[in-house]
Structure 1
Amino acid sequence: MNALVRSHVPNGIRLIAIYIAEAHSQDEWPVGQTISCVDQPKTFEQRLENARRFKKDFNFEMPMFVDDINNTFLNTYGSWPFRFFVIYEGKLILKAEPDKETFTYDMNEIDKWITNFYQSHT
């Protein structure tokens, strides 16, 4: 993710992360200690602290916003547990979906899509 940010910032492309509800909180849907290390926040301050800890623990360089405790972003965009969106001129133009078998994203494909889109709009 950090490499993706670094490669596109010079072109004026802003990549941001939005920290949403915990997909595998240890008090709701635990998946081992390495994944489920926090409870589902009950307050915005707790969610904000989880986001800060994530940025620090994973040296996450991308600017990060935090969804409100009512999950407005999550409910509006269906972003659980993890999605990539491209919003251009106020319109949602891409909602990338993970691989149906591995539930992962090919970061090279995301990078190529952003590069191709940028080149076709400059």
Structure 2
Amino acid sequence: MRLLTIYIAEAHARDQWPAGKTISCVDQPKTLEQRLENARQFKVKFNYEMPMVVDSMDNTFHRTYGSWPFRFYVIHDGKLVFKAEPGETTYAYDWDELDTWLNDFCREKTRHTS
């Protein structure tokens, strides 16, 4: 299993829908280079070790998967097989649901390859 983070548009950029100084600390990137730099800065600031790529400036990934502000997906053999979404009132994720799904999925894949 390969985990990957895809950096999309800023949810609360300083210059677009700011949410206070502690949350809105960068402007919305206008170029791919700026988006790449924001991703690099995030990885350094938070010691983020998971591989990260960035969405294109025309937001192809976001337009395809509806990923704003953030989502968790499982894509297997080029097909979307799971999409975790936040609750409608809390905007929090049910991590147990994702954990259970991933464990079941891996168990099933292991069973078929054994």
Structure 1 residue 113 and structure 2 residue 101: aligned? Answer: yes
| 1:79 alignment counterpart | 67
| 2:7 alignment counterpart | 19
Alignment of 1:5-84 (within 5 A): 13-84=1-72
SS in structure 1 of the partner of residue 67 of structure 2: coil
Moved over 3 A (4+): none
- Cα RMSD of the aligned pairs, angstroms, is 1.0
Task: Please tell me whether Structure 1 or Structure 2 has the larger radius of gyration of its CA atoms.
Answer: 2
Structure 1 residue 90 displacement after superposition: 1.1
Count of residue pairs brought into register by the alignment: 110
Structure 1 residue 101 and structure 2 residue 89: aligned? Answer: yes
SS in structure 2 of the partner of residue 36 of structure 1: coil
In the alignment, structure 2 segments of 5+ residues that lack a partner are none
| Distance of 2:96 and 2:45 partners within structure 1 | 24
| Distance of 1:52 and 1:65 partners within structure 2 | 10
SS in structure 1 of the partner of residue 74 of structure 2: strand
| Distance of 2:80 and 2:3 partners within structure 1 | 14
In the alignment, structure 1 segments of 5+ residues that lack a partner are 1-12
Structure 1 residue 31 displacement after superposition: 0.3
Query: How high is the TM-score relative to the length of structure 2?
Result: 0.91
| Distance of 1:54 and 1:104 partners within structure 2 | 21
Structure with greater contact order relative to length (CA < 8 Å, sep ≥ 6):
1
Identity across matched positions, percent = 64
Residue number among 77, 81, 87 corresponding to 1:89 in the alignment: 77
Query: How high is the TM-score relative to the length of structure 1?
Result: 0.85
SS in structure 2 of the partner of residue 121 of structure 1: helix
